[in-house]
Structure 1
């Protein structure tokens, strides 16, 4: 929020103020309920973005009466030097409202007899008291200043938010995002990173057998999927005997489907951190990924079918490759979007289950589409 245009202009300086009036001290205004004093200069590292900005105010800012001169202000600063770093000086009226912000450079270089308000910015950028920490961080990004005064709707100065709030928030967000991304990466393949590290620190037999506890359970999903895939392939033995070339391309069909499935899972998981999705959101996300998967599948299918046509010659196998790859990739994209969203509806953390379940389901679906198309065409 900017300066309130309805705020009255500061009065014309009258009699010079005494040096005692310029003491650099916290304002005499009553403390806000629930707002901790910040007179020790400490900063709160990484506050939640939804916190009210008033919970992180500094009240030890350099406060100067607006009616004095530059010389009187400098004399007061020398007599009562601030205990903490001064970024800006704040010219305040007797009623506690902010009259202007005085940069340190202007205060030092101005003539002593200059009225203080002549070197002040009379329309400073201010943060409203109702703002959140996220709003304050946006102010630092947009305006690139080192501190902002926080004011009530009537213009009364409550305190100051300095750049430490923004830098601490950035550091915490970066560290948190890096940790979350690392955990997501490991959980996507069925591994609890913290559990593995705990077992390694324990050493001995616990470390030796930790894979059975932390990794083996989700490998059972792959074992079950592989056995089911072998059973499905056996059901299409006659088609494979008619065109042995079909079996040569099964690894390509499955590899493309698995790659697209993992891509869809990776795109879906970050959106689930905000909460449990509704059924309409699940359907919308699945449909969107399926359409994208169809485009990818047709493009990849044309490449694979073209290579097959050059190698084996045009024929039904070429059409099986085109349709099998396109259908398998479309299925994979839909599964990669649907499974994490469905798991999130029943479990707060869908990461661990998403990878193994999606890969097993993708392999079975892609294989069934490919071989069913072969049975229909051959």
Structure 2
């Protein structure tokens, strides 16, 4: 396949060099703080409604691929198909690679199978797979049938790997040379056999069974005399990525070792692809946002997601929260006689639960992020739990003192102040412990801590907050609190 979407255009020898495109060519009024302005988007939509495709093409022509992708996301959903038709050749592989998932589905629906197939052939394997995944089964088969056998084989092989794995993320376009050749041989091989549209930053050195034995940077290739053997200048230490490794773990390796690219190997240790840092940047971005959205139960969090799908995702989460809230509320009914004798307890009870819930959310967010970035492992779990307990003790002591003094002053009752202070201290301690232990336990059991932690931590802080405050109040006696 031709080289990567999202990269600058590349030209073969003999082709005329186009005039370099800069943002200055785009009308200044089209942008507002780096984004397409509301007026520009509105003008495009108006011309689409009038059927003035020529005017739309003229407006879009100066835009960069990322700007065109942004335009597709900003216009109304029913305008995306007409916009794809109107801009014609401006909708190229670079633009398609920049489109958000749900927006890309709308755009693909407006394209013919032949146009999609032609675009897929221009993309790197990982971007091509993303497009094929968005198609209906029959359309995907038609597109695959329209591809060259070699391109089709690469995409089908990638689709056989698990979703969000290195196999799906990798590109098959790479440069690999045997260890026995010289630098001059490598340069000649690259000139003769490598498509000029292929981007690469490292050359992989392989043995006779295609197992990676080292790497060679382009800077070394350009600065080393041609008669020098590759074996004498290559770097033997390298990071190899198993083809079935989860993309989140891949991203962590790139962060940890500051990688530009890394070889992907199959079960037999043979080189099958390469992952580059530009792909990993997107993964880091996606995973970070994904965990935050899972904690809130907001699903994908894509504003272009169909309303029905968003409803299904969020309603399941809210129903689960309703169930845990009923467990917490049942604790209050247990102490109904105490509350009836001293109504002020009903006003103070939510404070205990709320403060504990917020403390638990803070700890849980830190724990989930630490698990996602491999900062929290089995070797330091106990130390982390003890750390959060100490933080909870400090926070609990401070908040308990403030709540206790405030309650005693406002209601003129020091005993009531001591009761709520003790309950707040206890609940914040519970929150600190649960905020770490629940995500860790879920992760150890193979569940995603970002998805379920919030439900369990909230239930624990609410239930134990109500139980501690109303239980202490009952033990002390309503007469002493009145």
Greater mean alpha carbon deviation, residues 252-261 or residues 353-362: 353-362
Q: Which residue of 2 aligns with 1:253?
A: 352
CA contact (8 A) 1:305 1:321 kept: yes
Q: Deviations over 1:187-235 (max 9, x none)?
A: 10223217996544xxxxxx2x752x31222223322222222221121
C-alpha change, 1:277 and 1:97, in structure 2 (3 Å) is: closer
CA contact (8 A) 1:261 1:362 kept: yes
**Which of 338, 345, 370 is matched with 2:437 structurally?**
338
Q: Which has the higher contact order (CA 8 A, sep 6+)?
A: 1
What TM-score, normalized to structure 1?
A: 0.56
In the TM superposition, what is the alpha-carbon distance from 1:39 to its structure 2 partner? 8.4
Distance 1:369 1:319 in 2: 12
**Which of 180, 200, 225 is matched with 1:92 structurally?**
225
* 1:35-50 equivalences in 2 (<5 Å): 40=196, 42-44=198-200
**Which of 374, 396, 409 is matched with 1:310 structurally?**
409
Ranges in structure 1 where 5+ consecutive residues have no aligned partner: 1-25, 32-36, 63-89, 100-125, 141-164, 201-206
**Which of 451, 468, 474 is matched with 1:369 structurally?**
468
Q: Deviations over 1:169-202 (max 9, x none)?
A: 2x545433322222112210223217996544xx
Secondary structure of 1:192's counterpart equals coil
C-alpha change, 1:218 and 1:45, in structure 2 (3 Å) is: farther
Does residue 187 of structure 2 align to residue 27 of structure 1?
no
Aligned length: 259
In the TM superposition, what is the alpha-carbon distance from 1:373 to its structure 2 partner? 1.8
Distance 1:199 1:374 in 2: 49
Relative to its length, the structure with more helix (as a share) is: 2
**Which of 183, 188, 192 is matched with 2:299 structurally?**
192
Does residue 335 of structure 2 align to residue 179 of structure 1?
no
Q: Which residue of 1 aligns with 2:218?
A: 58
In the TM superposition, what is the alpha-carbon distance from 1:344 to its structure 2 partner? 1.0
C-alpha change, 1:333 and 1:56, in structure 2 (3 Å) is: farther
Does residue 418 of structure 2 align to residue 319 of structure 1?
yes
Distance 2:380 2:400 in 1: 29
CA contact (8 A) 1:261 1:333 kept: yes
C-alpha change, 1:93 and 1:286, in structure 2 (3 Å) is: same
Secondary structure of 1:129's counterpart equals coil
C-alpha change, 1:136 and 1:236, in structure 2 (3 Å) is: closer
* 1:1-378 equivalences in 2 (<5 Å): 27-28=183-184, 40=196, 42-44=198-200, 54-55=214-215, 57-58=217-218, 61-62=221-222, 90=223, 92=225, 96=229, 128-132=235-239, 169=277, 171-193=278-300, 198-200=305-307, 207=308, 211=311, 213-273=312-372, 282-378=381-477
In the TM superposition, what is the alpha-carbon distance from 1:309 to its structure 2 partner? 1.8
Secondary structure of 2:183's counterpart equals coil
Distance 2:221 2:194 in 1: 10
Q: Rg: which structure is higher? A: 1
Distance 1:284 1:136 in 2: 22
CA contact (8 A) 2:327 2:459 kept: no
In the TM superposition, what is the alpha-carbon distance from 1:43 to its structure 2 partner? 3.0
CA contact (8 A) 2:385 2:433 kept: yes
CA contact (8 A) 1:286 1:337 kept: yes
Distance 1:136 1:271 in 2: 14
C-alpha change, 1:235 and 1:60, in structure 2 (3 Å) is: closer
C-alpha change, 1:45 and 1:179, in structure 2 (3 Å) is: farther
CA contact (8 A) 2:183 2:230 kept: no
C-alpha change, 1:134 and 1:183, in structure 2 (3 Å) is: closer
Q: Aligned-residue CA RMSD in angstroms?
A: 4.3
C-alpha change, 1:230 and 1:131, in structure 2 (3 Å) is: closer
In the TM superposition, what is the alpha-carbon distance from 1:311 to its structure 2 partner? 0.6
C-alpha change, 1:362 and 1:279, in structure 2 (3 Å) is: farther
CA contact (8 A) 1:298 1:326 kept: yes
